[in-house]
Structure 1
Amino acid sequence: MTSATSDDLDQLLTFRIEAASWISKLGSDQWSRPYPADRLLATIEAGTVFMLRDGNRTAGTITLTSEAEEGLWSPEELREASIFVNKLTVSRDYAGEDLGGRLLEWAGDRAYQASAKWLRLDAWTNNTALQRYYLRHGFEYVRTVREGGAINGGPRVSGWLAQRPAQAAKHGFEDQTPSPQPFAG
């Protein structure tokens, strides 16, 4: 595992297009809109994007933040130290190797190292296959938030919420990322 750099931007945008194409063939409109390059670059510069590399190839990526998307989690839940998973993507070249599951283990381990209580995520509301995937990987369903989307307060497309306790894990990756900063408090 390495931290993403601005040199990874084009690869990450291509990676997302590849994932959107695959998801579309499964019948979901998830990620059908292009992700703004400037927003992705901002997350890279913030140090929240991580790359799983296989030599010179990118096998997967995951974004981890300590900030939740607005309107998803209750004030009480937000008082609990949490790490939020975003944009988990595995190259189709590595399909079937459970790299996504191992990336989630790595994320849970990183959350644990940061003294977080929870590893949390929101998933596409109508992508039941993805929801089942997260449940198989130890997440527990919390609720689905359907209103208050980013555009005009309309329906939320990514409001299926799940969490699992942050815990030490053996993910098998060589981690070359900086140690996470512990939560204060």
Structure 2
Amino acid sequence: MIIAPAEPHDVTKLLAFREDAAAWLRKLGSDQWSRPYPADKLLATIQSGTVFMLRDGHTTAATITLTPDAEDGLWTDAELAEPSMFVNKLTVDREYAGQNIGGRLLDWAGDRAHRAGAKWVRLDAWTTNEGLQQYYLRQGFGHVRTVREGVAVNGGPRVSGWLAQRAARPADHGFTDRTPTPARLRFAA
């Protein structure tokens, strides 16, 4: 499998991934991702070079967003002073479920973050999705805290405030990596 930067034409696939994941989550009793995601915001993240696609031949197996930018209101100033990268929108096509694709993508993210000079890979997960939280704990993330107050970046109520992190480190994720070398993070000492 090959991991590569998303391209503008991938917006349609990414929106479909999100809709499929939301439908699957609804069956599990979760309201996660029930609000439509604006295509223009998704395109902007693609154009910023932070969205990556995992391809298995001509099929897209998964996607992950890895960015040096934290969502407002989640992390403390002291935490933001530490070099970190943030995982968002990790989605695996249901056809690839049960193959540890998500775990390997988290390893890839940790490896890329390490190469960029990050100390941490951080994420926020849906506050009421305990199954997802347990998944991240099994992947070696440690729960930092849960933020319930405030407003999310999209203007809605904060629903994704379960914060977790693990050390950024080299990893053998097993993917053919066709992503550009990550830019070194810049942080004040």
Common fold, TM-score beyond 0.5?
yes
The alpha-carbon deviation at position 7 of structure 1 amounts to 1.0
The alpha-carbon deviation at position 153 of structure 1 amounts to 8.0
Q: Which residue of 2 aligns with 1:98?
A: 100
Q: Deviation per CA, 1:46-88: give whole Å up to 9, x if none.
A: 0000000001110000001101000000000000000000000
Partners of 2:104 and 2:143 lie apart in 1 by: 20
Q: Which residue of 1 aligns with 2:184?
A: 182
Q: Which amino acid aligns with 2:122?
A: R
Partners of 2:62 and 2:153 lie apart in 1 by: 29
Count residues in correspondence: 185
Q: Deviation per CA, 1:2-31: give whole Å up to 9, x if none.
A: 000001111111111111111111110000
Query: TM-score normalised to the size of structure 2?
Result: 0.95
Partners of 1:82 and 1:112 lie apart in 2 by: 9
Question: Contact between 1:147 and 1:153, CA under 8 Å: does it hold in 2?
Answer: no
Partners of 1:150 and 1:96 lie apart in 2 by: 31
Matches of residues 1-185 of structure 1 in structure 2 within 5 Å?
1-150=3-152, 155-185=157-187
Query: TM-score normalised to the size of structure 1?
Result: 0.97
Percent identity, aligned pairs only?
A: 67
Change (3 A) 1:151 1:15: closer
Q: Point out the more displaced range, 80-89 or 150-159.
A: 150-159
Moved over 3 A (4+): 151-155
- SS of corresponding position for 2:135: helix
The alpha-carbon deviation at position 150 of structure 1 amounts to 2.6
Q: Deviation per CA, 1:135-181: give whole Å up to 9, x if none.
A: 00000000000000238987520000000000000000000000100
Partners of 1:93 and 1:16 lie apart in 2 by: 14
Gaps (5+ residues) in structure 2? none
- SS of corresponding position for 1:97: coil
The alpha-carbon deviation at position 184 of structure 1 amounts to 2.7
